Each structure stands twice: as structure tokens, then as C-alpha cells.
Amino acid sequence: MSVSWIYFLPFTKSREPAHPCKLLCAFLLLLIIIIASIPFSAGEIKDIRIADDPRHMILFERFGFGPDGRVVVYIENVSYKSNRRHPSSPLDPSQMGFFLVRDSLFPRIIRDHDHLCALSSNYVMQVFRFSDLSIGSTYNGTVAISDPDEYILVFGNCLPEYKVSMTVHTEMYNLQHYGIDRNFLPMGQTPLPLMYFLIFVTYCGLFITWLFVCLNNRPVVDKIHLLMGALLILKALKSFCASEDLAYMARTGTHHGWDVAFYVFGFLKGTMMFVVIALIGSGWSVLRPFLQDREKKVLMAIIPLQVLENVAYIAVEEAGPAVRNPTWWNFVFLFIDLTCCFAVVFPVVWSIRALRESGGDRKACRSLDKLSLFKKFYMVVIGYLYFTRVVVLALGSLLGYRFEWLMALIAEGASLGFYGFVFWNFQPVEKSPYLMINGESDDTKIEISPIYTLDGEYDDDHDEE
């Protein structure tokens, strides 16, 4: 027997919808199963297998070095294969190798590739060429970085007729405390563990405050407020996992499994955020206990897209340089994310239009008091999504590599401001325009009657009753 998605959705036309945790638990189980099958890399210590790769350049790692940085490269199991049955040029291992290049100069290397081998460019710092490989096709070397900057470790192949297979082990770190301790985090990410821990404490405080508000206003607490509380928990857990993941990686260069927890809670938090925005915008649970078919379709599209985006992002991030055409995959991720951002706004627009068209009914006319609230909510949602998806990326390209933490701080500050607006304006208090409207006199409070029938149409007979 096949089970319909509608069975899991908590927004059916029934007056007693199914519990929202069913849908989240189903997707959590699916995500854990998929994540468990992904081979994770080891943070800033990476072991990567390249198989029959014809690319002329493979970007392995981007890292922000301080005044005393180190790059460790170990190569083994190197083999070559010709793209053609009869290659026109002989195999010359000196035309293949690894090099370091400043991030700001990397576009020049790409531009000059057609007429100049990247290994021979004046802009690169050679690590080694394959002609330096020892017997058995192995190499083990360390490069000291004395000039602080953000560098990229790249493999260059100036023989397009040959494909390369190899196993690569890399380590990148900065020496601290007079060269005693290794820090495997780039310079720009060093403050992030403490920053994310403080964000975790902040959201824990917000959740305690939200719980206190809900307990003091039990008569007007509805299911949407419970989902909003769950969103705060997931955001706090994601921040805690990010802090622990980065702290462990700074000390050891490996994730120690915290990346799995970070991906799981990141997926749940992202999905829950889009669901909460759509439910608040549609008025579910407070203004009416159901969603129209078009709103359910929006949610049924957003949730699978979020699953697809997160799973694909994890797979590509962990595969690293073994993935070909990473720019195309990043474009796909951005496109899916922006699609979800645009889709989640439609329920808000539909609610605003419905409130505008309800002016003929006496009680519905009072519901126009909520029109300004929904307009403000709409503008804030658009501003938040635009700022975090576009403006933050633009700021990141302007800031230097040492201020990478500042970009994360700006994004988290915008998120905190957005959460504060939503939770303040839609909190469960009796005088909230989202929950109550004033009656004929100031001493009378009238609960909002549903403006819609179960079919999503406006009830013209409401006043006549």
C-alpha cells in the first residue's frame, strides 16, 4: 500500500491536522541514511583519490595563511593514461605538478593558460613537479609560507593528451604560540568557534524567553508557536555543532563526526525556517486551521527541494576536488535556494490579497488591521532573503581573507534580527493583531472567525448568521 505525502502533512483540511513531527522525522531518517553513505573527508587534513582526470587544473584547497604557515603534500599511486590511441607528444612528467598561487592572482593563471603552462607562470610558487617523484611514484614534502595571504593549492597538467590518477594527502595549518601549536583553521576562521558558541547561548536564551511567553499565554498558544519554538532549538543546535566542529578541526584538522551533526541540524533548521515562514504567511493554525491546495503544493515543493539541495551540497563539499565542474554545481545550489526563497513568499502574497479583497464583510473588514502586519512581514522576509543570499556574498568578495569571520557574523546578525522581528510580532499574546481584533467597544475582544471556507473560498454568509 502506498502512503500519500498528504498523510504526513500537518496542514490538511481536517480540524485536527496530523502532528508536524511526522514529516520532520521522516525526512530526518532519510537524511541520516543518505549522510551515512557519504565518505567524509578529514577537514583540513584531506585524503583524495583522483582517477583518470583530464583537467588541466584541479583546485585542491584554499587556505588563509598567517606569518608562519605550512603546506604538507604527500602523493602516491601515480599513473598516467593517454586520451588518444597514438598521442602526438611523449609523456613528460615535468609538465605536471603542484603549485601554490595567491587567490587574487588565480584568475590570471586561468586567463594565461591557453598560451602558458601554469607551472611556468611567474605568479605561482612551485611545490613539486612529477619529474621529482621517487621510485614507486611517491612524494612527501612540506612548504613554508612566510608571506601571509590566502593561497590556493592547485594541480597543473600541461599535457592535455594525458589523464592522471593519484592519491593525494594534504595538510594546511598555521603555527601559533612560537611555532608550538598547529591551527588547522584559516586565519579568517579562527574566531568562529567562540562566535558560534556565543550564538548558541543567545538562541538558548531566546528559546527560554519564548517558552516563558508561551507558558504565560497558554489560551492563545497554537501549533505555529510550537513550530517556532522548535525552530529556535534547531538553530541553537546547529550553532553548537558548528562551534564544536570548528574547534576540533582547529586542534586536530579533522571533524570527529561533528560535521555529520552539523549537516543534519542545518538541514532541519533550513527546512523548518522555510516551513515556518510559509505557515505564518498563510495564516495557518491561528487565522484558519487548514491550508489551501496551492499553499500545500508550495510546501510539498519546498521540502523536497531543501532535501535535494542539502544532500547534494554535502556530497559535493565532501568530495572536494574529485568533483568535476564544481562551479556548475554551486550554480545549481544557488538556483535551488533562490527558488525556495521565491516560493516561500507566495503564501504571504496570497494572504495580503485575500485581506484586501475581504473589505465587503463587516468582521472581515476588521481583519484589514492585519494587512499592515502582513505587508511588513512580507518586506522583512524579502529583505532578509535578499541580504543573506546576495549582499552577504558581495561583502565576502570585498572583505579580505582575514575578515572571513566578519561575513559570518553579519549573516548571523541578520538572522538574529529576522528571528527577533518574527517572534516579537507573532508572539502568543492576547492583544496581538495576528491573534485578536478589537470589537465594537474597547472592552470587547472578538476572536478572528475564519474568513475562508474549507474550499478556500470567502464565506459571504458569515455576517448573515
**What string of DSSP letters covers 174-217?**
EEETTTTEEE-S-GGGTTHHHHHHHHHHHHHHHHHHHHHHHHHT
* Radius of gyration from C-alpha coordinates of the chain: 28
- 54-69 per-position pLDDT tens digit: 888 888 888 999 888 9
User: 3-state class of 71 per DSSP?
Assistant: strand
Query: Smallest Cα–Cα separation from 428: which of 226, 281, 276?
Result: 226
Q: Do 11 and 222 form a contact (C-beta atoms < 8 A)? A: no
Q: How far apart are CA 14 and CA 12, in angstroms?
A: 5
Cβ–Cβ < 8 Å for 247, 258: no
- Dist. CA 146–CA 121, nearest whole Å: 20
As a whole number of angstroms, the distance between CA 455 and CA 374 comes to 22
Residues contacting residue 90 through CB under 8 Å, at least 6 positions apart: none
C-alpha span between 395 and 163 (Å, rounded): 38
Written as tens digits, the pLDDT of the chain (465 aa) is 333 333 334 444 444 444 444 555 555 565 555 555 555 544 567 888 888 888 888 888 889 998 889 999 999 989 888 887 667 778 888 889 999 999 889 888 888 877 788 888 889 999 989 988 876 678 888 999 989 999 999 999 988 888 999 999 999 999 987 778 899 999 999 999 999 999 999 999 999 999 999 999 888 888 889 999 999 999 999 999 999 999 999 998 888 778 888 888 988 898 889 889 888 888 776 666 777 777 778 878 887 887 777 776 776 666 565 555 566 666 777 788 788 888 888 888 887 777 676 655 555 555 556 777 778 888 898 899 889 888 888 888 888 889 999 999 999 999 999 999 999 988 888 766 676 543 333 333 334 334 333 334 444 444 444
pTM of the shown model: 0.80
Q: HSE, CB side, 13 Å, CA atoms: give it for residue 23.
A: 24
Alpha-carbon 86 to chain mean position: 47
Enumerate the β-bridge partners of residue 57.
156
Pairing state between β 139-145 and 445-447: unpaired
Specify the DSSP element, H or E, that contains 272: helix 258-282
Cross-strand pairs, 96: 157
Q: For all residues of the chain together, what is the average pLDDT?
A: 78
